[in-house]
Amino acid sequence: QKEVEQNSGPLSVPEGAIASLNCTYSDRVSQSFFWYRQYSGKSPELIMSIYSNGDKEDGRFTAQLNKASQYVSLLIRDSQPSDSATYLCAVTNQGGKLIFGQGTELSVKP
Amino acid sequence: EAGVTQSPTHLIKTRGQQATLRCSPISGHTSVYWYQQALGLGLQFLLWYDEGEERNRGNFPPRFSGRQFPNYSSELNVNALELEDSALYLCASSSGSGRFQETQYFGPGTRLLVL
């Protein structure tokens, strides 16, 4: 079992729709959860971080964390073509290292 | 505020050679992390330096090594290059100590090609 798993996609949504990205993790002691966006050929950029159960909203983005189910998700409302990228879920507990999922490729069609 | 910088942007080496990659963290950050992103393998943690010391190491052979300088910049050295070392090498920095809530900010990466 991979430590962090994501649907590989590609996930295709029409412009203006809600994109839902999911991530599960295996280590119950994981404490911090991050969503990064990576455009092709570029480095990852942070979108959201979440540390406690529940929802966290930032503009069009909402991160949801359920530690009991070991599940974290990212919702993108009013999706735009510029949101087309690979979204990386990352988890950390200690020791400084981020453990990344394989990423979900999102395509927003105009 | 300047972000994480890395040099060179591209590096071409032949098998068996050594590669040296450099990273400067965000001003005020003391922790530097190195990751490898090889095609089809995702982002893999390589090394973590904080306050000049190696704090954690990923599952990579000893020919991957590095150091952190007193100004918190860092160097990644890859000895005896192999074809499968071809990848994007990403450096990230954070404010320090690897506390679990720290956010890591990534540099633009160095793309290493081993021929």
How confident is the model at residue B98, as a pLDDT?
A: 57
The answer to whether A51 contacts B45, with C-beta atoms less than 8 Å apart, is: no
User: Which tens digit of pLDDT belongs to each residue from B27-73?
Assistant: 999 999 999 999 878 899 999 999 999 999 999 999 999 999 999 99
User: Which tens digit of pLDDT belongs to each residue from A56-89?
Assistant: 999 999 999 999 999 999 999 999 999 999 999 9
CA distance A31 to A28: 8
How confident is the model at residue B4, as a pLDDT?
A: 97
Chain A residue numbers with beta carbons less than 8 Å from the beta carbon of B31 are 96
The answer to whether B98 contacts A94, with C-beta atoms less than 8 Å apart, is: yes
Angle, CA B72 vertex, CA B60 and CA B70 arms, to 5°: 110
CA distance B105 to B19: 23
pLDDT mean across residues, chain A: 93
Q: What b/e sequence results for B100-112 when a residue is b if at least 16 CB atoms lie within 10 Å of its CB, and e otherwise?
A: eebebbbbbbbbb
Whether A97 has its CB under 8 Å from any CB of chain B: the answer is: yes
What is the β-pairing status of strands A99-100 and B5-7? unpaired
Q: Is B83 helix (H, G, I), strand (E, B) or coil?
A: helix
How confident is the model at residue A30, as a pLDDT?
A: 82
Q: Please say if the pLDDT value at position B9 is more than 70.
A: yes
